[in-house]
Structure 1
Amino acid sequence: MELKKIMVVGAGQMGSGIAQTAAQAGFEVLLHDLSEELIGRGLGNIGKNLSRLVEKGKLNEQEREEILGRIQPAPLLEEAREADLVIEAVMEKMEVKTDLFRTLDGILGKEGILATNTSSLPITELAAVTDRPERVIGMHFMNPVPVMKLVEIIRGLATSDETYRRIEELARRMGKIPVEVNDFPGFVSNRVLMPMINEAIYAVYEGVATPESVDQVMKLGMNHPMGPLELADFIGLDTCLSIMEILYEGFGDSKYRPCPLLRKYVKAGWLGRKTGRGFYRYEA
């Protein structure tokens, strides 16, 4: 069965980016969130992103309208029964995702695939709460989704070869480069990235250097396009902490222990760009 209609659950930065990318690739998209207001906000962000592409000459106005026309708001989760694939992009908490997967498992058609955009949680554990573990898979997109080419595709213990093949093909149709990864905490991207960010935070915590200096060293010395602390603010410090905790719990290794300064900032509500303050201050 060809994948034609996709429901994206979660209309935030990641979910709206996935919806936009799928619609640009020609797929019919249903966009769901907890309220019509959140869905509307996500659609508004997609519209702005597409308008910027028109301004840059990468799309014309008609193409913009056609892409937007392929994305329909879906305030009811039950509308997932119309979809061939559901990609969830909700908060990075196992209990939230497992509750969602249990519900979707009872709504989605028998041949439907459940995919998660989790950046670190075990696919096998998510699949185990469903009656279709062979059709559960990880699709970890990078942020911002419309720009970044990589998609980590993660098999759970029971994920079938057919499910993997179809999702790999889907990722290519969306203009992405799929990379197969096994089901370990943090997969590859965050298992490598987050300890680097955490160590950069330790360098500030221990007074080795200021955030500006740490970022300059990594940009000028290692040719990174963005410093690790600037990147942490972009990702969200709460997300960084959550992933570090998953790595620490999953491996039981002290090298994954979250820096106390990271915990302190999160408790203070300094989460980065989305709150206007993290390691740097941002204009509203």
Structure 2
Amino acid sequence: MTVPQKVGVLGGGRMGAGIAHSFLAAGAEVTVVDINDDAVAAAAERISNDVDGSLQRGAAGTREEWLSRLTVTTDAGAFAGLPLVVEAVPESMDLKVASFRTIAEASPEAVIATNTSSLSVSDLALTVDNDVIGLHFFNPVPASKLVEIVVADSTPESLVDEARGWVSALGKTPIVVQDAPGFASSRLGVCIALEAIRMVEEGVASAQDIDNAMVLGYKFPVGPLALTDIVGLDVRLGIAEYLSSTLGERFAPPQLMRDMVARGELGRKSGKGFYEYS
């Protein structure tokens, strides 16, 4: 089982950088494209840090060898001729549609894999002529062992089999789900998180005690509120709003969640969410 020799990633944020690192770790040459010079510099630093972490944990090779296989640029034309490009931009349908069209223009033959955690892969696939599949990685990508393969209406079965092989070659476990709102992981994960936020809102218990209940009582590796801080309250708010619009009021975001996002309390990335971070 191997990954394509050359892979592109559109978006070098936390998720895109982690995805790029995973393909580097599997031996691929990786091209990351981001919006401007500042974003490119930040993406290169994120990936370099992930590479350093892998080497410190005993991965084979040298820093120079790993980074010799990495290109980070603002030029989407660098995707030309690549067999696989992973889209990893923020969770906005308009932004993802624009990103798909950018990839398709640069590489009409590429498979486009979207890292969306909730949006319709089938709807995205309608915007381009390329083959499309969902590859939903989890945060933090280097440590996570799961990738959710999402099958769009137009995804060939042969591509699903290929994607299983790619995920396994990355050292992760694939699960295959059909294209339904929230797929399997976001639908269940967000449902639990929203109820935990409502419990904080209603004064049922503290965030720490709610998380402890799930970690110690149900063997969750991390509590739903701590995980929301890791993912980002703004990200989970966007997912909840989409799920609410498609699946109904049971996914309506609590007012506390909206208020925290409005105050800029987004979790780890802002220094404060349900917990405070130095």
Q: Same fold (TM over 0.5)?
A: yes
Q: Is the 8 A contact 1:9 1:32 kept in 2?
A: yes
Counterpart among 99, 119, 122 of residue 120 in structure 2: 122
Aligned residue type for 1:120: S
Q: Is the 8 A contact 1:5 1:84 kept in 2?
A: yes
Q: Is the 8 A contact 1:5 1:82 kept in 2?
A: no
Q: Secondary structure at the match of 1:178?
A: strand
- Give, in angstroms, the shift of residue 268 of structure 1: 1.1
Q: Identity over aligned residues, as a percent? A: 38
Deviation larger for 188-197 or 96-105: 96-105
Q: Is the aligned partner of 1:42 residue 2:31?
A: no
Q: Secondary structure at the match of 1:3?
A: coil
Consecutive unaligned residues in structure 1, runs of 5 or more: none
Query: What do the CA deviations read for 1:62-115 (whole angstroms, capped 9, x no partner)?
Result: 4332222111113201111131111010000000001111222222143x1011
Q: Is the aligned partner of 1:205 residue 2:201?
A: yes
Aligned residue type for 1:265: M
Q: Is the 8 A contact 2:113 2:133 kept in 1?
A: yes
Q: Secondary structure at the match of 1:102?
A: helix
TM-score normalized with structure 2 length: 0.95
Q: Report what 2:251 is aligned to.
A: 256
Q: Is the aligned partner of 1:159 residue 2:160?
A: no
User: Structure 2 CA distance, aligned partners of 1:156 and 1:13?
Assistant: 25
Counterpart among 195, 218, 234 of residue 238 in structure 1: 234
Aligned residue type for 2:42: R
User: Structure 2 CA distance, aligned partners of 1:212 and 1:242?
Assistant: 24
User: Structure 2 CA distance, aligned partners of 1:172 and 1:59?
Assistant: 17
Matched ranges for 1:169-188 at <5 A: 169-188=165-184
User: Structure 1 CA distance, aligned partners of 2:230 and 2:216?
Assistant: 19
Aligned residue type for 1:80: F
Q: RMSD across aligned C-alpha pairs, in angstroms? A: 1.4
Q: Report what 1:91 is aligned to.
A: 90
TM-score normalized with structure 1 length: 0.93
- Give, in angstroms, the shift of residue 208 of structure 1: 0.5
Q: Is the 8 A contact 2:34 2:40 kept in 1?
A: yes
- Give, in angstroms, the shift of residue 128 of structure 1: 0.6
- Give, in angstroms, the shift of residue 169 of structure 1: 1.6
Q: Is the 8 A contact 2:108 2:129 kept in 1?
A: no
Alignment coverage as a number of residue pairs: 276
Q: Secondary structure at the match of 1:131?
A: coil
- Give, in angstroms, the shift of residue 4 of structure 1: 2.0
Q: Secondary structure at the match of 1:82?
A: coil
Deviation larger for 65-74 or 14-23: 65-74
Q: Is the 8 A contact 2:229 2:268 kept in 1?
A: yes
Q: Report what 1:101 is aligned to.
A: 100
